A and B are shown apart, each in its own frame.
Chain A
Amino acid sequence: MATEEKAQSHKPPRNVHSPQEWLRQNLFNTWYNVILSLLSIGFILFISKGILTWAFTEAKWSVIPANLQLILIGSYPRDQIWRIWTVIYLLSVLLGMSAGIWHGIVRRFAIILACVWLICAIIPFQLATRGLFLGIVVSIAISYLIASNKISWHRWIVIGWLLSFPMTMIVLRGFGENAVLTSNWGGLLLTLILAIVGICASFPLGVFLALCRQSKLPAIRWISTTYIETIRGVPLITILFMGSVLIPIFMPEMNIDQVVRMMIGITFFSAAYMAENVRGGLQAIPRGQTEAAHALGLNYPKTMLFIVLPQALRSVIPAIVGQFISLFKDTSLVSIIGLIDLLGVAKSITANREWLGLQAEVYLFAAVIYFVFSYSMSYVSTEVEASLGVGNT
Chain B
Amino acid sequence: MTITAPAGPIGTEDPVHQPPPVPRPEGITRTRRRRRLGPGRKIRGAGLLGPLILLAAWTIGSATGALDPRVLSAPWTVFTTAGTLWDNGRLQENLLTSTERFAYGLVLGVVAGTVLALIAGLSRWGEALLDGPVQIKRSIPALALLPLLILWLGIDEEMKVITIALGVFVPVYIHLHNGLRGIDSRYAELAETVGLGHAGFVRKVVLPGALPGFLLGLRFAVTAAWLSLVVVEQINATSGIGYMMELARTYGQTDVIIVGLVLYGLLGLLSDGLVRLIQRRALSWRRTLGS
Whether chains A and B associate is no
Q: Which positions in A face B, CB cutoff 8 Å? A: none
Q: Which positions in B face A, CB cutoff 8 Å? A: none
